[in-house]
Structure 1
Amino acid sequence: MNPAVRRFAPMCLLALAAARPLPSDPDTRAWWATTAALSDDAMEGRDTGSAGYERAARLVAERFARAGLKPAGDERGYLQRVPMEELRVVRASVSVGGRPLRFLHDIMMNPAPGAPDTLNGALAYRGYCAADALGDVRGKIVICHGTHRPGLPSEVERVATVEAAGAAGLLTIADPGFTVEPPRWPFAYARAVWIAGKPPKSSGPVRFTLNADALAAVIAGSGRDAGRLIAAGAAGQPLPAFDPPKPFHATFRLAQRTISSPNVLGILPGTDPSLAAQTIVLSAHLDGYGPGEPVAGDALYNGTLDDAAYVALLIRVAEQRAGKGFRRPVLFAAFTGEEKGLLGARWFVDHPTVPKPRIAADINLDQLRPIFPLKLLTVHALDDTTLGDDARAVAAAMGVEVQRDPEPERNLLRRADQWPFMQAGIPATAFVFGYRPGSESERIYRQWYRTGYHKPQDDLAQLIDWQAASDFNRFFTTLVTRVADQPASPVWKPASPLRPQTAR
């Protein structure tokens, strides 16, 4: 990373932040001050396993202690260490017919244990990569359009089909037609992290993600129009099968190391002995991306809204209680490794510091963007547990409507830290700011996903709707009080398709 860029970007950020009015109410100001501390450049983006993450974890532990939470980590401390392995692409060279592709901008490799350091072969474009479209692709690098459309092969199906056919590599075109969550280029880095002892599958084709803008270079000389192929694939129209004439060549240098990164856990004991076995978990993820590929001259991915702001909200709720318990115990959890596959939450669920049968629910904070008015709230698993009823009641009292997830193709329910709890049979929920189709709120939301999501521009200088932030924080605080104090514990609803057979 260019040191001049690193110096310049924080100066711009501070100047922009200083020029913007701060929230007027004390609670929102206190929340934002903690957000600023967690997403400051000194935390270096809080990448899993980094020194910056460790600094952020110590800050959260100190604030939990000052707020009156009791240690709930390992060995009577606030930290719960999660052992991990990391595999990183240190250097890459990729070309087609001698024409280079820019790594992280045109193409990205998904590193996996046992991956070769060189891959050479003929290319085969096979549309959506349905089994009947592949033909003989043994030893070839297969190009597939990465559609999300129902009725066409999913990612899992594409990988399985190409592997079964004996292909050496898979280039998945990131679909620009998936406008609900557009492809993000450049990638910050090419890196895989997993819980120690549970490595990802190492066999099968080497997997790449291809920028749609680079397809023309990949199929040059085939006589095919890349723009038309991309447009047809984005629309779900029929696609051809053909073999581009120029060979694919890639070399990599991979580095693997053992790392660890802590969850930060603090508990507020309950006041009602009859409810002591019904702990409510409040969670958010502390990790971000850290230093990565520069975007608009900024190479530090601060992760202000994803998810420093909502670890800050956990701290703020604890501070407001000042050691005064709810009827039920409440465990405050800042998880690590969410961006690498929900690793901290998975580790906690598998190694709970509160006996798992004594965990009644998880309310998770992620995917929240207070950048337009809070009039509509998406509630994950709205109809699956009684937490949905609680959220509906609290929102109604505030004049906020709730809705089910209007974009299930994004799979957001399974992409955040509530999911490991639900897999373990524990009722859980999470939230997304909603919008009406065609509204100004939708325009702002879509723009953020193009320019802010998992980018350095998710920092303290971005525009925030302070009233929306305040409204959600109030919603969350009220919901926590209701769930932690009401007579009945959260439960699954019998008709829920997500309800595990072992659910309590």
Structure 2
Amino acid sequence: MRVASLLAGIGLFSLSAAAIAQQAEPVFTPEAVRAHVEFLSDDLLEGRDTGSKGYEIAARYVATRFEALGLKPAGENGGWYQQVGLQQTDPGANPGTVTVSGPAGEKSWAHATDVLVGLSAREPRLDVSAPLVFVGYGIENARLGLDDYRGLDVKGKIVVTLQGYPKGLPSEEGAHVSATKAEAAERHGAIGMVSIATLQSAKARPWEKIVHFADEPGFAWVSPDGKPNSSAPGIRASAMLNAPAAEAVFAGAPRTLARIRAEADKAGGKPKGFALKTSIRIQGESTTKRVTSPNVAAILPGSDPKLAAEYVVLSAHLDHIGLASAKPGDTAETDRINNGALDNAAGIATMLEVARAAAESPDKPRRSIIFLASTGEEKGLIGADYFARHPTVPADRIVGNVDLDMPLLLYPFTDVIAFGADHSSLGAMVAKAVAPMGVKLSPDPMPQEGIFTRSDHYMFVRQGVPAVFLATGFANGGEKAWGEFLSGNYHHPGDDMMQKIDWQAGARFAEANYRITRAMADADTPPLWIEGDFFGDTFAAGKQRAPKAGK
């Protein structure tokens, strides 16, 4: 071989190496994000309702994308799917009544008037009567200094609780203890629970909006013993009461409902409980059926011999709410398909693009990454709860979760929100990962909504896994876009491809999540709960901690 040819070959090799190095950074395109969203929100899928044919089509789409990327199946029996058995509970022919008896006599209300009767997944013919006890907010948590059951006997009785939690309580801790009221009532022997709005909750969610969902079915995953899962099976009956029924409950009480609500409306207000002079009868009928709907899961194996046995999870819910019920005046042309383009085809599209980039990267992640498309989020975070409790990998090896739910791709976002960021080292990890993009991490801009407990990541938190829910932020036009979407196309047929979606923002959101996922997967130390954190101490006692800021 001539020297000139050898040198030329070396030069060519050097150029090729440089070119490869330049191509190492993944590319995210608006077209790729749009293609995923376009398919998943197509009318053919009829809104991807849990257990529907449209959802099954969406699940197969995700599975084929995972397979095309060369990922490993992470479902059951070596497949892509983790089948989740569900019980669907629907209102029966007589959906229910609430009857209040006491000093003012007896009065009844039919379901969906001034009362809402909760569906009973375990009692198709519900008929429960018991004396009433007011228990304030109905919260019991020593760490937060709350013990609303102190001095009260509620065994065999039905408790009356105020909605929400005391003003001034940290929003995420408050949202958690509010979501676990039934469990507290069960611990004290109550057999039912009735909730009444505070002034604050009534303003946030007027009764007219709540009653709109009166006939929605209930869903629960089915446990191995064949029973529908319940966090508090001892609470046999439940109901929500509007003002007239709520006033009747407090007939003859030592304190009026108006005074109680006024106290609750003050910062730190914690109305004390007392036995009421009334009793209640809650009746209802329901029908049940069993359906199956899969989670779809894949693994990109880690490259580090020591860290590959640890798993980080990037999740997004695949389901939406299906077809809207026909209304008077609807015609054959009326659009009743809730396509769910942003909620949450956009989240799934983001996850798929992160999976593609990670699978194609010549520099493989150190930890293994699980990509999870969950079912039943709109029915109560069911698929994520099932996976978090029945993971297809060793539960103690799941070290972190980022969940993608409804990224609002309607404006060129410049910040992101990581709900739950203050509780673990994931907050700092997210902020550092997106900083090179000129994107900032912002605090929760709507703490009153209790979003921390309303998306799939919360189910990983309850299993002791540091987790955040990532969304586009309020800066650069985001606040206006969020306000208009939540009051307009959210859970409405208008959430479709006719919206002015900013596909470049979609590509940018995918890049941000790739950076975050790789940060979790490649760090020497996995995500850790911060020392002294409420959720870490509640669900992950004894595990390694990250120091508080400034230490």
Matched, 1:170 2:207: no
Distance verdict in 2 for CA 1:256–1:174, change over 3 Å: farther
- Residue 450 of structure 2 aligns with an amino acid whose one-letter code is N
Alignment partners' CA distance in 2, 1:26 and 1:349: 30
Does structure 1 conserve the Cα–Cα contact (< 8 Å) formed by 2:353 and 2:510?
no
SS, match of residue 44 in structure 2:
helix
CA-to-aligned-CA distance 1:257-299 (integer Å, 9 cap, x gap): 3332211111223344343223322111112222354579654
SS, match of residue 291 in structure 1:
coil
Q: How do residues 432-443 of structure 1 correspond to structure 2 at under 5 angstroms?
A: 432-435=471-474, 441-443=478-480
| Matched residue, 2:444 | 405
Alignment partners' CA distance in 2, 1:144 and 1:73: 41
| Matched residue, 1:39 | 41
Alignment partners' CA distance in 1, 2:464 and 2:193: 37
Does structure 2 conserve the Cα–Cα contact (< 8 Å) formed by 1:283 and 1:335?
yes
Which residue of 284, 287, 292 maps to 1:260? 292
Does structure 1 conserve the Cα–Cα contact (< 8 Å) formed by 2:133 and 2:154?
no
SS, match of residue 460 in structure 1:
coil
Does structure 1 conserve the Cα–Cα contact (< 8 Å) formed by 2:194 and 2:239?
yes
| Matched residue, 1:483 | 520
| Matched residue, 2:323 | 291
Q: How do residues 65-464 of structure 1 correspond to structure 2 at under 5 angstroms?
A: 65-91=67-93, 92=95, 103=112, 107-115=115-123, 117=125, 146-150=163-167, 154=178, 170=194, 172-173=196-197, 177=201, 184-185=209-210, 186-187=212-213, 189-196=216-223, 197=225, 199-200=229-230, 201-204=232-235, 206-210=237-241, 215=243, 235=265, 252-293=284-325, 299-321=336-358, 323-324=360-361, 326-328=364-366, 329-435=368-474, 441-464=478-501
SS, match of residue 368 in structure 1:
coil
Alignment partners' CA distance in 1, 2:186 and 2:400: 40
SS, match of residue 46 in structure 1:
coil
Distance verdict in 2 for CA 1:319–1:167, change over 3 Å: closer
Alignment partners' CA distance in 1, 2:187 and 2:426: 41
Alignment partners' CA distance in 2, 1:427 and 1:159: 23
Please report how far the alpha carbon of residue 345 of structure 1 lies from its aligned counterpart in structure 2 after TM superposition.
Answer: 2.3
- Structure 1 stretch displaced more, 474-483 or 446-455: 446-455
Please report how far the alpha carbon of residue 392 of structure 1 lies from its aligned counterpart in structure 2 after TM superposition.
Answer: 0.8
- Residue 56 of structure 1 aligns with an amino acid whose one-letter code is A
RMSD: 4.6
- Residue 60 of structure 2 aligns with an amino acid whose one-letter code is R
Alignment partners' CA distance in 2, 1:332 and 1:156: 28
Please report how far the alpha carbon of residue 310 of structure 1 lies from its aligned counterpart in structure 2 after TM superposition.
Answer: 0.9
Alignment partners' CA distance in 2, 1:257 and 1:117: 15
CA-to-aligned-CA distance 1:10-56 (integer Å, 9 cap, x gap): xxxxxxxxxxxxxxx98223212211221223223222223322221
Alignment partners' CA distance in 2, 1:416 and 1:251: 31
Alignment partners' CA distance in 2, 1:470 and 1:63: 18
Distance verdict in 2 for CA 1:449–1:179, change over 3 Å: farther
Which residue of 473, 495, 498 maps to 2:531? 495
- Segments of 5+ residues of structure 1 without an aligned counterpart are 1-24
CA-to-aligned-CA distance 1:303-357 (integer Å, 9 cap, x gap): 3322221112222223345554623332211112223333322332333223334
SS, match of residue 273 in structure 1:
coil
Q: Taking structure 1 as the reference length, what is the TM-score of the superposition?
A: 0.74
Alignment partners' CA distance in 1, 2:184 and 2:399: 37
Distance verdict in 2 for CA 1:396–1:192, change over 3 Å: same
Alignment partners' CA distance in 2, 1:146 and 1:366: 25
Give the length in aligned residue pairs: 471
Matched, 1:471 2:508: yes
Q: Taking structure 2 as the reference length, what is the TM-score of the superposition?
A: 0.69
Alignment partners' CA distance in 1, 2:162 and 2:280: 17
Alignment partners' CA distance in 2, 1:400 and 1:266: 29
Alignment partners' CA distance in 2, 1:348 and 1:72: 11
CA-to-aligned-CA distance 1:396-451 (integer Å, 9 cap, x gap): 22222213335445433333222333333433322133326xx9633432343333
Does structure 1 conserve the Cα–Cα contact (< 8 Å) formed by 2:429 and 2:520?
yes
Larger radius of gyration: 2
| Matched residue, 1:54 | 56
- Segments of 5+ residues of structure 2 without an aligned counterpart are 1-26, 100-105, 139-147, 170-176, 252-257, 545-551
Alignment partners' CA distance in 2, 1:294 and 1:496: 51
SS, match of residue 365 in structure 2:
coil
Does structure 2 conserve the Cα–Cα contact (< 8 Å) formed by 1:127 and 1:144?
yes
Please report how far the alpha carbon of residue 189 of structure 1 lies from its aligned counterpart in structure 2 after TM superposition.
Answer: 0.8
